[in-house]
Chains A and B, each alone.
Chain A
Amino acid sequence: MEIAIISGKGGTGKSSISAAFATLSEEVVLADCDVDAANLFILFNPVHEEEESFVGGEKAIIDRELCTNCGLCIPYCAFDAISLSSEGVIISDTACDGCHLCKRICPHQAIRMIDNDKSRLYSGSFRNGLMVYGRLAPGEENSGKLVNLVREKARKQSKAFGMETIIIDGPPGIGCPVISSITGVDQVVIVTEPSLSGLHDLKRAADVSGSFGIQTRVIINKADLDEAMSDKIETWCKERGLDIVARIPFNPEVVEAMVNCKSISEWAPDSETSQILRKTWKEILNGKS
Chain B
Amino acid sequence: MTDYKPFKIAIASGKGGTGKTLVATNLFHSLVSREIQASLVDCDAEAPNARLFFEGKLEKSFEVTQQVPVIDESLCTYCGKCQDYCHYNAIFILPPAKFIKVIEDLCHGCGACTVACKFGAITEKAIPLGEVRRYSLSGKNALIESRMKTGVYSPVSVIKAGIKEAGNGQMVIMDAPPGTSCPFIQTVDRADFVVLVTEPTPFGLSDLRQSVETLKGMKKPCGVIVNRAGLGNHSLYEYLEKEHIPLLMEIPFDRDIARTYAHGGKLKDLDPSWEDRFLALFEIIILENGNSHHKR
Q: Which residues of A are interface residues toward B (Cβ below 8 A)?
A: 7-12, 15, 36-37, 39, 42-43, 58, 76, 78-79, 94-95, 97-101, 104-105, 136, 138-141, 143-144, 171-176, 179, 193-198, 200-201, 204, 207-208, 211, 222, 225-226, 229, 250, 252, 255, 258-259, 261
B201 lies within 8 A of chain A by Cβ: yes
A208 to B150 CA separation, bound complex (whole angstroms): 7
Contact in complex: A200, B154 (CB < 8 Å): no
Q: Could you list 13 examples of A-B contacts with CB < 8 Å?
A: A37-B179, A37-B210, A99-B108, A101-B115, A104-B85, A104-B112, A143-B181, A171-B179, A172-B17, A175-B152, A176-B154, A197-B47, A226-B262
Q: CB-CB < 8 A to A94: which residues of B?
A: 182, 185-186, 189, 218
On B, residues with C-beta under 8 Å from A are: 14-18, 21, 46-47, 49, 52, 67, 85, 87-88, 108-112, 115, 148, 150-155, 177-182, 184-186, 189, 201-203, 206-207, 210, 213-214, 217-218, 231-233, 255, 258-259, 261-264
CB distance from B216 to the nearest CB of A (A): 10
Q: Contacts A174-B47, A229-B263, A255-B232 given; indicate if A37 touches B16 (C-beta within 8 A).
A: yes
A76-B111, A79-B110, A200-B47 given; A139·B16 CB < 8 A:
no
Number of A-B residue pairs having CB atoms within 8 Å of each other in the complex = 176
Report yes or no: A101 in contact with B110, Cβ–Cβ below 8 A: yes
The 4 A-B pairs with the shortest beta carbon distances in the complex, nearest first, are A11-B17, A10-B16, A99-B110, A195-B262
Cβ contacts under 8 Å, A105 to chain B:
115
Mostly helix, strand, loop or mixed at chain B's interface?
loop
- CB contact between A175 and one of B148, B189, B210 (< 8 Å): that residue: B148
Cα of A219 to Cα of B108 in the assembled complex, Å: 35
In the bound complex, residues from chain A placing their C-beta under 8 Å from that of B148 are 174-175
Q: Are B202 and A226 in contact (CB under 8 A)?
A: no
Question: In the complex, what residues of A have CB within 8 A of residue B184's CB?
Answer: 139
> In the complex, A197 Cα to B111 Cα: how many Å?
37
Cα A76 to Cα B67 with chains together (Å): 13
Q: Chain A's nearest CB lies how many Å from the CB of B125?
A: 14
A99-B87, A139-B214 known; A174 vs B46 contact (CB < 8 Å): yes
